[in-house]
Amino acid sequence: MAARQRIVRERRQYNQWVASQTLEDYALRYTADRARKSSFRVGNTAFGPIAFLACEAIGGALTIAYGFPNTAWAIAAFCVLMFLIGLPICSYAARYGVDIDLLTRGAGFGYMGSTITSLIYASFTFLLLAIEASIMSMALQMLFGIPLAIGHLISSLIVIPIAIYGISLISKMQLVTQPIWLLLQILPIAYIAWRSPADVSAWTGYAGQQGSPDGSLDPLLFGLALSMLLSLLPQIGEQVDYLRFLPNRDRRNRVAWWTALIASGPGWVFMGGFKLLAGSFLAYFALRHGVLPAQADEPTGMYFLAFRETFQSPTFALVLTGIFVIVCQLKINVTNAYAGSIAWSNFFSRLTHSHPGRVVWLVFNVLLALLLMQTGIFNAIESILVIYANFAAGWIGALTADLVINKPLGYSPPYIEFKRAHLYDINPVGVGALLLSIVISSLAFLGVFGTFPQILSPLVALVVAFVAAPLIAWATKGRYYLARQPTGLPEQQPEIRCTICENVFGRNDMAMCPAYSGPICSLCCTLEARCHDLCKTDSRFTEQLQGFFASILPKRAAVSLNTRAGHFFGLLLVFNLATGLLLSLIYHQAGGATAADREAIGMTLWVVFISLFVLTGVAAWLIVLAHESRRSAEAESARQTAMLMDEIEAHKRTDAALQKAKEVAEAANVAKTRYIVGISHEIRSPLNAIFGYAQLLEREIAGPSDNAARVIRRSAEHLTNLIDGLLDISRIENGMLRLNRDKVQLVEFLDQIVDMFRLQAASRGIEFRYQRPPHLPAQVYTDQKRLRQILINLLSNAIKYTERGHASLVVRYRNQVAEFEISDTGLGIAEADLERVFQPFERGETPTVRAVPGIGLGLTITKLLTQIMGGELLARSTLGEGTMFTVRLLLSEAMHSVQQSSLPGRITGYTGARCKLLLIDDDPAHLDIVQRLLRPLQFEVLTASNGTSGIALAVRERPALVMIDISMPDLSGWDVANQLRDHAALTSMKIVMVSANAHEYGPGGADCPHDGFVMKPVDMQLLLDTIAGLLGLQWTYATEEEAIEEVGASRDLPLHSRHHVNDLYQLGKIGHVRGIQAKLRQIEADDPASKPFTTHMQSLVANFDLKRYMNVLETLRNDDDL
């Protein structure tokens, strides 16, 4: 199964026009509770647009054409019908905080279906804006003589600075201008009605240009008047765009809420009806005063005449007319521009998945109105409104039917669902009813059904849509209202953060998005172009259309429609139907022309239609091919994405397997570490006895037997080093290796290492070269043990793998960085093995390398230690020619250091008062070894075999220092140390921990109960150094005794064999160990009496004690000189 494409969550950054709700005014989304205003403020704002003077223009035009009776009855019928239609629309919009477009989405039209109604409504706003602004332009021309073209520009653009800030500024403007409008609206009409009742009576009997002279009602003229008035049906949408800001209704504000809703919602029509009648009267009044019928229905002229009649001053009347017209038109034009910006935002955002901001569409709407004004729309107002009324009536009829019939019957959800995530693209209830009403009303308008339906075509559209919507809802069982249920949002959270824009919105504005796996706001959902409605199935327009054709056509025919040819012919049909309808309406408008003119117009329109047919065919092909190209690109992208997702899934499985293998390896590593630690502890305990006794034997036994003790000690040292190497690797892997900051005498430190390896090199018959700068720091800071370990590992390898030639150590020091270069002329390392030799237990693959004993840990430990100490280790090698290792380490100079002399000889005791030491260990062998080491050095040694007795003995005897084994049967060494440290009388006592478990190592300090730590097997010299450091002892050495011993040894050489002394001396000077050993064996073979001398000298050479070896020979040479 192909993996579903995952959409990467990317934060959407809106521009400042969209991000600021002061400018955006919650276009395209639910009106947030925090943005609601008071009932009075919202009601007053929504009542202001009723000032529009188009009502007077329409009322005057109808009266002049059809007479008062027909106009008055049409106005009455319109008011009743408009109130009944507007009440449910306004109440639902105010209750759910949505504008007219969002209301239409959830009331039968669907997400994309309501784009048709958005276009109808947007057209109404700029059409009405053009008409109202034209009236204002005429007033400017009358008052100031401004040309109409410039007046149109002023009248349209002046609304932008107010409408741009939405209801916050519009409400203030409406509040300020409301008293001015109402006063000037009522005053002249009331005065004329009071002063000229005869004119009022004559007005009611006025028959108009086409009415019956007897003033009777003419159904045809009544129908024509009502049809024109029905073009004002979308005005309820402008009221809704304000009423959505009403506060949430509750028990405290319900009276104010309903008052504001009714008065400024459906109740607008009563004030509108009054204005229609006022226009009717003032038009008749103008005719009575000699104004021509063509100018009598112009609102500016009407009110100038009324104000002049009232105040009997043409100048004052002109001023009042100007103020009144400007105020009235400003109030409605701001609303038209504002409502149009919301309508265009809804229209384009769904088609383009883009929203530059309501401000952009505000300017766009005003510019469209300005374009119409420049073409003289006011002169064609009647024909425009009748054509438009068919579309508006179909929309409002279907919307009203859904609210008052379908919702109570349960076909439509009881609430308003407007979010894309929950809606079908097309709901056949509203869209079907609208299209059906447009078709039937258009046929009626063209006279297909006779004269009366032709006249009442807008009413036909209203009735057809109102009846069709419930029938379609019943037929479809209401299944196309919700594509999925609104679930998945976090419970009990009134406000939720959007996953995409990361802003917080009310719960009513949010939906759960499976594509982004999180909540998404309605605007982000609208603008999302990548998800392809992943949250719904069979809800997109194309899917619905395919399903519709599959249900009514044979399978083969339905499949053929979903092909390239099917798409082309479908688009071509839609384009040419729209073109044909438009040209038919243009031809219909020429109905008053002569037969010859109509024929010429008809032929011209046919030529235009055929020309457009070719162009629409090309456009249809371009759209189809571009669509196919886009679909192919998307399919390829989806295929590549699916392959990538499959590969990612495979990598995830591989990663999971690797992770499991890693966990197994880590578990094995932990087991290995535990095993090594356990084995180390078990080996160190007996090894401690072997190593300890071997050291004691070496110190106590002189003669041939001390060589056996020396072999035992070195074997024990080898085992100890092997165990230490394994433990070092284990510590490094577990991050447990600690570094010490020691003050090291660098020159002496290097000389000791060089002396040791010079003899080893001499014993192998190779040359050892040592080079260092003449001036090195006296002391440096570093971890002495680890630095020694690094150099010893590299130098021992250099000597071990070199059979002839030389091994060398070159030291450089600059800027606190020491560089140690260890090179040899030995076997070398193959290029392929240079990296591998640093791995644990890995060695070179050549037979000669394999023949040299070793386990492959030295270089591993060396590299790890170098890295941990912050340095670097470089290796260069040529197979068969030699190898060079370069170590760079930071060795900072210890300032004000004092050069110390080396230890002069074997320790025999210490100066000062005698010290009492306590040993606590359950191992008798360890106790015996340490006692035999310390008692000859004049220490008073006490022992205890367990922790309990050790504590009691320490309290009683108060020793200067206690050595405690960590692993004991009753109390652990740590328990004993803590109890001793807590004892008030033992605060000055030093505590040294002893353990065979290397992972328990800790150097001690202020936060630890111990002061020092010694590992088993115990290195006697290290133990003595630790004791001296903690107790501040000064050792005494056996220098004089050794000198006497060396003089005695020199006397053991018979006189007749002393001619060999010079040979031995020269061999000693060059460090030729093998030559010395061979010469000593020759002397012993030639003269058995010299065996005591040769045995002693062989012992010195075997211990690489070249200094004492040379001292003995110097004594013999001096004796010979005497």
User: What CATH number should be reported for the domain holding residue 993?
Assistant: 3.40.50.2300
For 543-566, write each residue's pLDDT tens digit: 777 777 777 777 777 777 777 788
Query: How does strand 742-745 pair with strand 779-782?
Result: antiparallel
Bridge partner list, 886: 821, 874
Pair 452, 502 in one domain: no
Pair 527, 472 in one domain: no
* Rounded-to-integer distance, Cα 1068 and Cα 260, Å: 119
**Max avg pLDDT among 77-91, 198-212, 476-490, 851-865:** 77-91
Mean pLDDT, residues 697-712 = 60
Pair 527, 543 in one domain: no
Residues whose CB falls within 8 Å of the CB of residue 659, separated by 6 or more in sequence, listed in order: none
Pair 363, 268 in one domain: yes
pLDDT band at 483 (very low <50, low <70, confident <90, very high): confident
pTM of full prediction above 0.75: no
pLDDT at residue 440 in the model: 92
Residue ending a domain, among 670, 700, 721, is: 670
Mean pLDDT, residues 682-710 = 63
Higher pLDDT, 870 or 1095: 870
The CB density around residue 474, as the number of other CB atoms within 10 Å, is 14
Mean pLDDT, residues 983-1010 = 72
Mean pLDDT, residues 609-617 = 86
Burial class (CB in 10 A: 0-12, 13-18, 19+), 276: buried
For 789-847, write each residue's pLDDT tens digit: 889 889 888 888 888 889 999 999 998 999 999 999 988 888 878 888 887 767 666 65
Task: Give the CA distances from residue 293 to residues 202, 288, 290, 534, in Å, rounded to whole numbers and listed in that order.
Answer: 17, 10, 9, 61
User: Residue 4: is its pLDDT beyond 50?
Assistant: no
Pair 201, 225 in one domain: yes
The CB density around residue 800, as the number of other CB atoms within 10 Å, is 18
Contact 219, 317 (CB under 8 A): no
Let me know if residue 169 belongs to a domain: yes
Residue ending a domain, among 1034, 1069, 1094, is: 1034
Let me know if residue 1090 belongs to a domain: yes
Higher pLDDT, 290 or 174: 174
Let me know if residue 721 belongs to a domain: no
| Secondary element (H or E) of residue 565 | helix 564-588
CATH code: domain of residue 464: 1.10.4160.10
pLDDT at residue 356 in the model: 84
Pair 1083, 996 in one domain: no
Burial 757-794 (b: 16+ CB within 10 A, else e): bbbbbbbbebbbebebeeebbbbbbbbbebbebbbbbb
DSSP state for residue 1020 in the 8-state scheme: H
pLDDT at residue 220 in the model: 87
User: Residue 653: is its pLDDT beyond 60?
Assistant: yes
Mean pLDDT over the full length of the chain: 82
Place of tokens 């009648």: 277
Residue ending a domain, among 976, 1008, 1034, is: 1034
pLDDT at residue 903 in the model: 43
Bridge partner list, 779: 745
Let me know if residue 546 belongs to a domain: yes
Contact 963, 922 (CB under 8 A): no
User: Residue 384: is its pLDDT beyond 70?
Assistant: no
Let me know if residue 1052 belongs to a domain: yes
User: Residue 709: is its pLDDT beyond 50?
Assistant: yes
Mean pLDDT, residues 236-256 = 90
pLDDT at residue 1 in the model: 38
For the chain, the domain total comes to 7
Strand, helix or coil for residue 918: strand
User: Residue 880: is its pLDDT beyond 50?
Assistant: yes
Pair 1066, 970 in one domain: no
Task: Give the CA distances from residue 783 to residues 24, 819, 869, 895, in Å, rounded to whole numbers and listed in that order.
Answer: 69, 16, 8, 17
User: Residue 57: is its pLDDT beyond 80?
Assistant: yes
**Least confident piece of the model among 95-99, 315-319, 929-933, 1091-1095:** 1091-1095
Contact 222, 452 (CB under 8 A): no
pLDDT at residue 1055 in the model: 60
User: Residue 778: is its pLDDT beyond 60?
Assistant: yes
* Rounded-to-integer distance, Cα 813 and Cα 121, Å: 87
Let me know if residue 13 belongs to a domain: no
pLDDT at residue 589 in the model: 64
pLDDT at residue 1064 in the model: 80
Helix axes 268-288, 68-96, angle to 10 degrees: 150
Pair 134, 191 in one domain: yes
User: Residue 177: is its pLDDT beyond 90?
Assistant: yes
* Rounded-to-integer distance, Cα 511 and Cα 513, Å: 6
Let me know if residue 724 belongs to a domain: no
pLDDT at residue 898 in the model: 47
Phi, psi of 873 (to 5 degrees): -125, 120
Pair 527, 541 in one domain: no
The DSSP result for 223-292, as a single string, is HHHHHHHGGGTTHHHHHHHHHTTSPPP-TTTHHHHHHHHHHHTTTHHHHHHHHHHHHHHHHHHHHHTT--
Share of the chain above pLDDT 70, in %: 84
pLDDT at residue 906 in the model: 67
Pair 653, 765 in one domain: no
* Rounded-to-integer distance, Cα 960 and Cα 941, Å: 11
Pair 311, 399 in one domain: yes
Higher pLDDT, 1005 or 1094: 1094
Pair 153, 71 in one domain: yes
CA angle 177, 182, 185 (to 5 degrees): 120
Task: Give the CA distances from residue 633 to residues 561, 636, 754, in Å, rounded to whole numbers and listed in that order.
Answer: 22, 5, 74
Domain that holds residue 761: 738-893
pLDDT band at 402 (very low <50, low <70, confident <90, very high): very high
| Reduced 3-state DSSP string for 612-680 | HHHHHHHHHHHHHHHHHHHHHHHHHHHHHHHHHHHHHHHHHHHHHHHHHHHHHHHHHHHHHHHHHHHHH
User: Residue 901: is its pLDDT beyond 50?
Assistant: no
Let me know if residue 690 belongs to a domain: no
